[in-house]
Amino acid sequence: MKIAAAGIAIECATFSPLPSELADFDVLRGDALRPHYPFAASYPDVDFAPIMQAHAVPGGVLRRSVYDALKAEILAGLSAAEPWDGVYLDMHGAMAVDGIDDAEADFISAVRELVGPDALISASYDLHGNLSGAIMEQLDIISAYRTAPHEDALETRARAFDLLNQCLHAGKRPVKAFVPIPLLLSGERTMTIVEPGKSVYAEIEKVIDGESVLDASLLVGFTWADQARSQAAAVALGMDEEATWRAARWLAAAYWDARHDFNFGVPTGSTDECINMALESEASTVFLSDSGDNVTGGGAGDVPYVLERLLAHRVPKTLYASLADAAAVDACFTAGTGASLSLSLGGKLDPVHGNPLSVDGTVKTLHQNASGTRQVILNVDNVDVILSERRLAFTTLAQFSELGIDPLAYRVVCLKLGYLFPDFQAIAPEAIMALSPGAINALPETLPFHKIQRPMHPFDREFDWSP
């Protein structure tokens, strides 16, 4: 059997004014992509051919010319080696492209047209992806992450690949049950490690028996995309039509019934309220999320509002990670370690949600990380500000170790995240989330949506729905 692997994976926040570019992608081709799919080696009867996969840091709407080029390269690679028995698509599910309403549907439909109606197409999705009828018509198989924060990316890829192989060997297409749910909650409200998300997501395994129901997924959707397909969805795949639909409807009802119970899982408030909470806390270190400019949700990463408020509160020893500002990094590298200088920080990539902040600081550290991005630790009063020449989300302890930083040596650690990633959850004595301004506002019902379907919870509170 011949199976190809390809994909374009990006999460696009349509409220961000910063377009996503080719430079935001890591692109792997051919044999360089094989280590990304170690599970493929477990199928000796499969002629596995990785074509190309492009994965980007979350950002704003993807430039059309970039999308067209990536799509064309994948289609050319598929065309050069057809026919195919199956295609595995490694996706995210929240791509937004300038001028295309449903970019994943456009891409998957093009793949379907090329490989023909007989080939099976399987896709892996982030649970923050947005589905549509057009997408589901073209896919034969889809499986999504079951954890947020995400800890099962490789497991999900392997599951989507295995389901594809199962169906190819059986010579059968599974029944697909797709239930859109009029719910659009932020990822920060729908974590799977706290209730009710923990219990709702536990239902997925219960509805799968491996025969009549092969797999099921619950997607909470991507909140910061103003698109008609932006909403939650339950999906089930199986060989028994009645059981498959029953499973999808059960998951949809479980999520809908819990809608009023979802919350942030940590204390929240305005930026000033959260800074005061952090200063009043008895914890040795408080992790403070600057959620409105959450880079992992597509924020520009250069809104300096929370930094300005930290300085205004004259906080004790604080770490701020990080602020994207190439010009400031250039100035610091030119000045050298130990230099004192005046800088205008941030407000350049996203001038809609933030203005440049003027500071006087001292250069403590100059560094180039493993990917070649230059970074600076700039001390401003009691705050160590990490500056980066590119947008950067701090999601692992290794990123701090590379800079010689122990985050627990600080009173406050401010991160441009929403929920904390697993490394930080494991060590944070206390976590607080500031509902700060930005394109990734954690209260999306306050943002100017125009295209989403209505009624939609929590934009609309009082309406009835059943799957």
Residue among 47, 45, 89 nearest 71 (CA):
89
Residue 273 makes CB contacts below 8 A (sequence gap 6+) with none
Amino acid at 236: A
Q: How crowded is residue 276: how many other Cβ atoms within 10 Å of its Cβ? A: 13
Domain assignments of the chain as residue spans, ordered by start: 2-261, 268-441
| Distance in angstroms (rounded) separating the CA atoms of residues 176 and 78 | 25
Which pLDDT score is estimated for 297? 96
Which pLDDT score is estimated for 445? 86
Which pLDDT score is estimated for 361? 98
Which residues pair with residue 379 across a beta bridge? 362, 384
Each residue's pLDDT, cut to its tens digit, for the chain (467 residues) gives 999 999 999 999 999 999 999 999 999 999 999 999 999 999 999 999 999 999 999 999 999 999 999 999 999 999 999 999 999 999 999 999 999 999 999 999 999 999 999 999 999 999 999 999 999 999 999 999 999 999 999 999 999 999 999 999 999 999 999 999 999 999 999 999 999 999 999 999 999 999 999 999 999 999 999 999 999 999 999 999 999 999 999 999 999 999 999 999 999 999 999 999 999 999 999 999 999 999 999 999 999 999 999 999 999 999 999 999 999 999 999 999 999 999 999 999 999 999 999 999 999 999 998 888 999 999 999 999 999 999 999 999 999 999 999 999 999 999 999 999 999 999 999 999 999 999 999 998 888 999 999 999 999 998 999 99
- At 64, list the tokens: 């059309």
| Backbone torsion region of residue 449, taken as left when φ is above 0, otherwise alpha when ψ lies between -120 and 50, otherwise beta | beta
Cα→Cα distances 426→34, 262, 422, 423, 430, Å? 31, 22, 6, 5, 10
- At 381, list the tokens: 């009063």
What distance, in Å, lies between the first and last C-alpha atoms of the chain? 38
Residue 111 makes CB contacts below 8 A (sequence gap 6+) with 6, 74, 75, 78, 87, 89, 121, 138
Which pLDDT score is estimated for 444? 87
| Three-state SS at 332 | helix
Which pLDDT score is estimated for 370? 82
Which pLDDT score is estimated for 369? 87
